[in-house]
Amino acid sequence: MTKHHQFDAIIVGGGGAGLEAALHASKSANVAVVTKLYPTRSHTGTAQGGIAAALGNMEPDSWEWHMYDTVKGGDYLVDQDAAEILARDAIDAIIELEHMGLPFDRTPDGKIEQRRFGGHTANFGEKAVMRACKAADRTGHMILQTLYQQCIKNKVNFFNEYFVTDIIVEDNVCRGVVAINVADSEVHLFHAKAVLIASGGFGKMFKVTSNAHTLTGDPVAAYYRRGLPLEDMEFFQFHPTGIYKLGILLSEAARGEGAIFINDKGERFMERYMPTLKDLAPRDICSRCIYEEVRAGRGIGGKDYVYMDFRPGTINKFKSGPGGRDVTREHLEKALPDILEFARVYMGIDPMKDPVPIQPTAHYAMGGIPTDADGRALADNTNVVTGLYAAGECACVSVHGANRLGTNSLVDLVVFGRRGGKAMADFCKPAGFAPLPITAAADTIAEFDRIRAGRGSERAAAIRADLQNMMTNYVGVFRNGPDMQKAVEGVRELKARFKNIKTDDTGKIFNTDVLETFELGCLLDLAEVTAAAALRRTETRGGHAREDFQERDDANWLNHSMAYRADDKRDAAVTRCDIRFENKPVTITKFQPKERKY
Ligand SMILES: Cc1cc2nc3c(=O)[nH]c(=O)nc-3n(C[C@H](O)[C@H](O)[C@H](O)COP(=O)(O)OP(=O)(O)OC[C@H]3O[C@@H](n4cnc5c(N)ncnc54)[C@H](O)[C@@H]3O)c2cc1C
């Protein structure tokens, strides 16, 4: 039996973006959050390093510098009107979080303390600036706890461990979502005037990734399957400092506090590549430099990794501490407790005594559901889908362009989560409920029945492993045409194998076997778009570095890409589908594209 619910506004996802939107929407609308994870288990809780805002508490700073850094960091693919909102509103959004009780670190005179992060500079690129507000290296955790408490206080309704499978859109009007209750596999229809998608990233398409197990982008795939476009999917960020082989993140906060990269010869190699910012250059650049060192045979022991060196002796020798000051072990233990603990637990290395092996790890989706600056989801380059919104990592506003700066995601969540939440509440006031189609849940029921009944010869785990290997090998830090072609064709073969799936657990109680198989179908769709969009873009820009097209090509490619399913009749996730691409112009206001040097 399908169960029905009705709320003014439904938010899909209980991470930072979802909770921020829920909190603001709930000031005037009846709101429910539908989330496959318990809210405080969302990936936002793992964000370590910080949240950017030009408060200027430590040294002079301004929102214009923050905006400039964001645009330049994104290799000029950023929509500058949105970046201006991000940088301006960040200041007020941080103060709002502070007033809600978020326990930020403090300076001795009681102001919010800030630290350096990659690509954030003073005076339009002159030197690194302290802009990241933080609560030790548990910033995301504190944001999530603070927002969740506020949502409870504001009487937001929560459907925790409800898995959204589909977005109901008819005649370009959003009418709600379909969800499965994880506990008993019952299908629930959520009828709403407005829906905001805040489902986070989808880094699980890669093998070496910092992303949590659940980051599979199901609602983003649902959007795409509805014939709606995904923007800039070729731009995926590889963070330079994943723990070797595991991909678990050691935050850039480490380098903000002075840690540096070292190659096999003991050289601080970033001095050669980026003389001004060195180890604090943006992530796409650092990741490429690491692989350049590896290719030149200067990886540790000739292997495919380098060291990150946290030892106070090294930091003080290279004068890489904040403001060139010496650091102590006590300071690092206080500023980076979780990061140091991760190295100890996962590598068995004490970073105070030995350097830590690191390699780039898939980290952040710059692309996703296209939106305007009020979170309204776009049906094409100009028109919105009535009543549908998106915010956070699943959305593409676009403030991150071709490469996101560290600490700019958390600020994106609060700034655009808040704007999206307010906009949907305003929309709900005069709006009525558009009727639900009778067949709203039919696709979900058919797909889950198919998966549960699957008696083929293919296992989801094996297909997922093949997908992740392929994406890491062929659509990674360095890319080239023939390899990406292999990825596009490879994903299509995996989709064919996915039709022949075998499921072991046929029950209804906490059936993660079936849910993870459904998630795999979503990852396959998103990986196909990612690989195809990357193959199509014949230039190097930000996180998209091509060996066969090494230059940025503004004449032809200063455009966002918009990917549509060519066949927008909704057939099952498993069908081979062709993709149609279009370009969307980049909004340029203050900063003309220039060469990107640090
Ligand atoms: C290890 C790590 C460290 C990071 N550190 C930083 C940092 O220091 N600073 C910074 O700015 N950024 C950082 N980032 C990036 C940033 O944390 C994320 O981009 C951001 O937290 C994403 O927030 P979100 O609200 O969009 O999604 P998430 O926090 O990922 O939440 C997604 C929500 O969607 C729900 N959901 C997903 N699919 C479904 C479905 N099918 N049905 C129902 N619900 C669903 C989940 O239950 C979850 O509640 C880091 C990321 C990682 C992985």
- Classify residue 84: in a domain, yes or no: no
- 355 and 469 part of one domain: no
- 580 and 447 part of one domain: yes
Number of the ligand 1 atom closest to the C-alpha atom of 41? 49
What are the start-end ranges of the E strands in 392-469?
A: 395-396
Q: Which residues of 392-425 are buried (b: 16+ CB within 10 A; e: fewer)?
A: bbbbbbbbbbbbbbbbbbbbbbbbbbbbbbbbbb
- Classify residue 56: in a domain, yes or no: no
Domain of 561, CATH number, reads: 1.20.58.100
Instruction: Please say if 536 is a catalytic residue.
Output: no
- Classify residue 487: in a domain, yes or no: yes
- Cα of 364 vs centre of ligand 1, distance in Å, is 9
Number of the ligand 1 atom closest to the C-alpha atom of 394? 26
The confidence score (pLDDT) of residue 568 equals: 45
The SS3 assignment for 90 reads helix
The residue with tokens 């301006």 is 88
- Residue-wise pLDDT tens digits, 294-346: 999 999 999 999 999 999 999 999 999 998 999 999 999 999 999 999 999 99
Domain-terminating residue out of 329, 360, 391: 360
Domain-terminating residue out of 315, 332, 360: 360
The confidence score (pLDDT) of residue 266 equals: 95
How far, CA to CA in Å, does 192 sit from each of 1, 337, 388?
20, 43, 10
Number of the ligand 1 atom closest to the C-alpha atom of 20? 25
The confidence score (pLDDT) of residue 401 equals: 98
Residue having the nearest C-alpha atom to atom 20 of ligand 1:
44
Instruction: Verify whether ligand 1 is closer than 6 Å to residue 390 (CB atom).
Output: no
- 581 and 455 part of one domain: yes
Average pLDDT over residues 193-198: 98
Backbone phi, then psi, for 590, in 5-degree steps?
A: -105, -30
Average pLDDT over residues 208-236: 97
Indicate the range of 93-97, 251-255, 422-426, 553-557 predicted with least confidence.
251-255
Identify the domain containing residue 460 by its residue range: 442-585
Binning pLDDT at 50, 70 and 90, where does residue 577 land? low
With a CB cutoff of 8 Å and minimum separation 6, the contacts of 531 are: 471, 474, 475, 484, 487, 488, 491
- Residue-wise pLDDT tens digits, 125-157: 999 999 999 999 899 999 999 999 999 999 999
Residue having the nearest C-alpha atom to atom 35 of ligand 1:
13
- 354 and 472 part of one domain: no
- Are the C-beta atoms of 444 and 166 separated by less than 8 Å? yes
Listed in sequence order, the DSSP H helices in 239-304 are: 253-256, 270-273, 283-295
- Classify residue 392: in a domain, yes or no: no
Instruction: Verify whether ligand 1 is closer than 6 Å to residue 417 (CB atom).
Output: no
Other CB atoms within 10 Å distance of the CB of residue 98: 14
Instruction: Verify whether ligand 1 is closer than 6 Å to residue 476 (CB atom).
Output: no
Best substitution site from 23, 44, 151, 396 to test ligand 1's pocket, by max atoms within 8 Å of Cβ? 44
Q: Which amino acid is at 356?
A: V
Distance in angstroms (rounded) separating the CA atoms of residues 306 and 317: 19
- Classify residue 247: in a domain, yes or no: yes
Instruction: Verify whether ligand 1 is closer than 6 Å to residue 412 (CB atom).
Output: no
- Cα of 168 vs centre of ligand 1, distance in Å, is 23
Percent of the chain with pLDDT over 70: 98
Binning pLDDT at 50, 70 and 90, where does residue 597 land? confident
- 334 and 448 part of one domain: no
Number of domains in the chain: 2
Domain of 302, CATH number, reads: 3.90.700.10
Instruction: Verify whether ligand 1 is closer than 6 Å to residue 139 (CB atom).
Output: yes
Domain-terminating residue out of 360, 376, 403: 360
481-489, Cβ contacts within 8 angstroms, sequence gap of 24 or more: 481/535, 481/546, 481/548, 484/531, 484/534, 484/535, 485/535, 487/527, 487/531, 487/535, 488/528, 488/531, 488/532, 488/535
Instruction: Verify whether ligand 1 is closer than 6 Å to residue 561 (CB atom).
Output: no
- 354 and 453 part of one domain: no
The confidence score (pLDDT) of residue 571 equals: 46
- Classify residue 269: in a domain, yes or no: yes
Average pLDDT over residues 164-178: 97
- Residue-wise pLDDT tens digits, 496-532: 999 999 999 999 999 999 999 999 999 999 999 999 9
- Cα of 176 vs centre of ligand 1, distance in Å, is 22
Binning pLDDT at 50, 70 and 90, where does residue 442 land? very high
- Residue-wise pLDDT tens digits, 74-133: 999 999 999 999 999 999 999 999 999 999 999 999 999 999 999 999 999 999 999 999
Instruction: Verify whether ligand 1 is closer than 6 Å to residue 203 (CB atom).
Output: no
- Classify residue 394: in a domain, yes or no: no
**Which is catalytic among the residues 115, 116, 283, 288?**
283
- Residue-wise pLDDT tens digits, 262-299: 999 999 999 999 999 999 999 999 999 999 999 999 99
The confidence score (pLDDT) of residue 482 equals: 96
The confidence score (pLDDT) of residue 75 equals: 98
Percent of the chain with pLDDT over 90: 95
- 458 and 354 part of one domain: no
- Cα of 408 vs centre of ligand 1, distance in Å, is 13
Q: Which two tokens stand for residue 318?
A: 């290279």
Instruction: Verify whether ligand 1 is closer than 6 Å to residue 50 (CB atom).
Output: yes
- Residue-wise pLDDT tens digits, 1-51: 799 999 999 999 999 999 999 999 999 999 999 999 999 999 999 998 899
Q: What angle do CA 16, 237, 41 make, to 5 degrees?
A: 30
- 355 and 457 part of one domain: no
- Classify residue 484: in a domain, yes or no: yes
Instruction: Verify whether ligand 1 is closer than 6 Å to residue 22 (CB atom).
Output: no
Number of the ligand 1 atom closest to the C-alpha atom of 137? 8
DSSP assigned state of 177 = E
Binning pLDDT at 50, 70 and 90, where does residue 566 land? confident
- Residue-wise pLDDT tens digits, 342-387: 999 999 999 999 999 999 999 999 999 999 999 999 999 999 999 9
Residue having the nearest C-alpha atom to atom 33 of ligand 1:
13
Q: Considering the entire predicted model, what is its pTM?
A: 0.96
- Cα of 341 vs centre of ligand 1, distance in Å, is 22
Best substitution site from 409, 418, 447, 448 to test ligand 1's pocket, by max atoms within 8 Å of Cβ? 409
Q: What is the mean pLDDT of the chain?
A: 95
- 446 and 351 part of one domain: no
Torsion angle in degrees (nearest 10) through CA of 23, 27, 33, 39: 20
Instruction: Verify whether ligand 1 is closer than 6 Å to residue 145 (CB atom).
Output: no
The confidence score (pLDDT) of residue 323 equals: 86
Best substitution site from 165, 195, 199 to test ligand 1's pocket, by max atoms within 8 Å of Cβ? 199
